[in-house]
Amino acid sequence: MITLNESGKTRKYALFQLGFRPFFLGAALFALLSSVLWFAQYSFGLQSVQLALVGPVQWHAHEMIFGYSLAVIAGFLLTAARNWTNLQTLQHAPLATLFFTWALARVLALFAATPSLLWATILLDLAFNFFLTYAIAQPILQAKQWNNIGLVSKVLLLSIANLVFYAGVLDNSSQWRHVGLYAGLYLVLAIVLTLGRRVMPFFIERGVTETVSLPNWKWVDLTSLILFLGFAITDLVSPTSTVTALFAVALTVLHTIRLTGWHTPGIWKKPLLWILFLAYAFIITGFALKAASIFWAVPVFLAIHAFTYGGIGLITLGMMARVALGHTGRNVFDPPPILHGLFILITCGACFRVFFPLIFPAQYTYGVAFAFIFWILAFAGFLYTYIPILIRPRIDGQPG
């Protein structure tokens, strides 16, 4: 059980008091450093390290899904499970062990040029995956929170997707690597959409100055779940089929209906709200661009980056900013003013990564460069603002 009388002020540092602290810090640092490495490889051909695991392109894809995104998910769910169940999740040495397992796997992936280093990378990364699944499942099962089993199952499936990817690495199978990566991407999106469905209406209703009551339609919930499952399966099996495109069109329409129902003018005055709204809009754009890639041969990488840079990038930065404030005793309704600028930066970066190549295909590399610059500035600003928040005890003296 949570030790409620533990004072947050008894320690000078609190990095391993609760899951969001090390994993949000690690995710933001990794988002910054790995992007610098990727851009150096992409733009200048620099080979300062040997991305011998799978090559730079698949390394970038794998690490954004199973490195960065899963770290944010870990931090969020380890923190949320504590609130949902009133049971203590990992802290202190066990949390540090889980975090450094994740971090070491990220480092070793850069140097896995020998069989021994490759196996060490795989074993560490999969150990992190399954240890995380257990750490999230244990309090939820103990508290019989059956409504959260779906999230546990998605984290478990992410672990299996990573296992499939590594099986492809060991067997030199591009097909298995492809399945692992895309299954991982769609599972991350499934978690994002599930949590967005839960928290966005609540955040908006509490965060805007006007009185609003936002709808959550059961038929949208059920239909979107079935359609997304169908989309993910058909895209894995037949990514250019008409059936996949029709699923994508249906998801575009359905999620547009949901997001339109959640709109209220007051969100545009609140950066912690509009960043989530725009992230959802980018995910919808991803479905639309996926359909367009099949019907009109629009490059499919635009859909992928709408899902990843636009959807996952915006929503993870926004949620890290909000959760870190709320769980350190700060006022989420009065966030640091710098957040407005940081969110504008990452939104501009997403537009350059997704829309600029669509409008100016001949200038594609400029779009990549500007997207990289905006991403780096956004995460550097986040780290500058949030490192003290993440490593120091709560300002209200409460545990966590």
pLDDT tens-digit series, residues 225-236: 999 999 999 999
Q: Give the whole-number percent of the chain exceeding pLDDT 70.
A: 95
The model's pTM: 0.95
Nearest one of 204, 220, 200 to 212, comparing CA atoms: 204
Q: What is d(CA 267, CA 207) in angstroms, rounded to the nearest whole number?
A: 8
Residues 6+ apart with CB under 8 A from 13: 391, 392, 393
pLDDT grade for 7, boundaries at 50, 70 and 90:
very low
pLDDT grade for 290, boundaries at 50, 70 and 90:
very high
**Helix H or strand E encompassing 108:** helix 92-108
In the chain the domains, ranked by start, together with CATH numbers, are 8-391 (1.20.210.10)
Q: Give the whole-number percent of the chain exceeding pLDDT 90.
A: 86
- Mean pLDDT in residue range 182-189: 98
Name the 3-class secondary structure at 127.
helix
CA distances from 285 to 94, 292, 386 (A): 40, 10, 30
- Mean pLDDT in residue range 263-282: 98
pLDDT of residue 42: 81
SS (H, E, C) 57-77: HHHHHHHHHHHHHHHHHHHHH
Question: Using an 8 Å Cβ cutoff, are 36 and 376 in contact?
Answer: yes
Residue 22 sits at φ, ψ, to 5 deg, of -70, -35
Summarised one tens digit per residue, pLDDT across range 110-159 is 887 788 888 999 999 999 999 999 999 999 999 999 999 999 999 999 99
Across the chain, which distance is largest between two alpha carbons, in Å?
A: 62
Name the 3-class secondary structure at 384.
helix
Summarised one tens digit per residue, pLDDT across range 320-367 is 999 999 999 999 999 999 999 999 999 999 999 999 999 999 999 999
Q: What is d(CA 196, CA 319) in angstroms, rounded to the nearest whole number?
A: 10
pLDDT of residue 10: 53
pLDDT grade for 46, boundaries at 50, 70 and 90:
low
- Mean pLDDT in residue range 201-205: 95
Question: By mean pLDDT, which of 38-47, 187-196, 385-394 is the weakest?
Answer: 38-47
Nearest one of 209, 105, 207, 107 to 165, comparing CA atoms: 105
pLDDT grade for 53, boundaries at 50, 70 and 90:
low
pLDDT of 51 > 70? The answer is no
Nearest one of 188, 116, 192, 120 to 159, comparing CA atoms: 188
CB atoms within 10 A of CB 257: 15
Q: What mean pLDDT, rounded, does the chain reach? A: 93
pLDDT of residue 12: 83
Dump the DSSP string for 243-306: HHHHHHHHHHHHHHHHHHHT--GGGGG-HHHHHHHHHHHHHHHHHHHHHHHHHS---HHHHHHI
Tokens representing 128 are 């992190």
pLDDT of residue 52: 53
pLDDT grade for 43, boundaries at 50, 70 and 90:
confident
pLDDT grade for 47, boundaries at 50, 70 and 90:
low
Conformational region of residue 26, where left means phi above 0, alpha means psi within -120 to 50, and beta covers everything else: alpha
pLDDT of residue 137: 97
Question: Using an 8 Å Cβ cutoff, are 398 and 8 in contact?
Answer: yes
